[in-house]
Amino acid sequence: AQKVTQAQTEISVVEKEDVTLDCVYETRDTTYYLFWYKQPPSGELVFLIRRNSFDEQNEISGRYSWNFQKSTSSFNFTITASQVVDSAVYFCALSDFQTGKLIFGQGTTLQVKP
Amino acid sequence: EPEVTQTPSHQVTQMGQEVILRCVPISNHLYFYWYRQILGQKVEFLVSFYNNEISEKSEIFDDQFSVERPDGSNFTLKIRSTKLEDSAMYFCASHIADPNTGELFFGEGSRLTVL
């Protein structure tokens, strides 16, 4: 069965601190995709990144970076120099290769205090 | 930028009433989905739809739920007789072609409150 685990329920940091959100997944598929979404208080799901299982290169986009480690089935997300606007719930998700449906983790609530 | 639009943004209904949530996927997209998020919980898959039929549904998607693409542009989720536990945010999503290429586009969600 496919499963995504985000063990950190809530994280609180002070502005400008770096923060890493953990994501561990389970799948029997050899080909799959991993995602991160941000859900601000307004409720919409904001796409952050999509990574396929064959590409283990780390990715950096501004203050955001992602570390994909297939050996440990992890896809962690780091925000550098956090800002108050980063406060949101962050979801990691795994896509089913056959159907494209997403399996979401429980989410991590990030609070960045000024 | 193309987007998935959902209406209504918020609906309040009485238990036992029928509700229809509407979605307009991006025009050249072929795969459509509904997801549900109960307040404070994770986003859960409900159903996927391709080629005018359901391709997969979760155990949540029981006989009270149905989906339809009535006119080639709208994609609707109907709940026949709402229950208190149907209160949630419902997200529509669409995908252009092969589900494993490109981004899955989500709408902004429809919040359903069942009283």
What is the rounded average pLDDT of the residues B17-45?
Answer: 94
pLDDT band at B103 (very low <50, low <70, confident <90, very high): confident
Closest by Cβ to A44, choosing from B31, B48, B109: B109
Could A101 and B33 be called an inter-chain contact, meaning their C-beta atoms sit closer than 8 Å? yes
CB proximity B30 to A under 8 Å: no
Instruction: Give percent of chain B above pLDDT 70.
Output: 95
Could A47 and B103 be called an inter-chain contact, meaning their C-beta atoms sit closer than 8 Å? yes
pLDDT of residue B64: 95
Mutate to test the interface with B, among A45, A89, A92, A95 (most CBs of B within 10 A): A45
What is the rounded average pLDDT of the residues B27-39?
Answer: 92
Instruction: Single out the residue of B91, B18, B79, B110 nearest to residue B48, CA to CA.
Output: B91
pLDDT of residue B6: 97
Mutate to test the interface with A, among B4, B104, B111 (most CBs of A within 10 A): B104
- Res B104 pLDDT > 70: yes
- Res B102 pLDDT > 70: no
- Res B73 pLDDT > 90: no
B103 secondary structure, DSSP code: P
DSSP B37-96: E-TTS-EEEEEEEETTEEEEE-TT--TTEEEE--SSS-EEEEESS--GGG-EEEEEEEES
Give me the residues of chain A with pLDDT under 70, please.
Answer: none
- Res B97 pLDDT > 80: no
Could A95 and B99 be called an inter-chain contact, meaning their C-beta atoms sit closer than 8 Å? yes
- Res B99 pLDDT > 60: no
Beta bridge partners of A67: A76
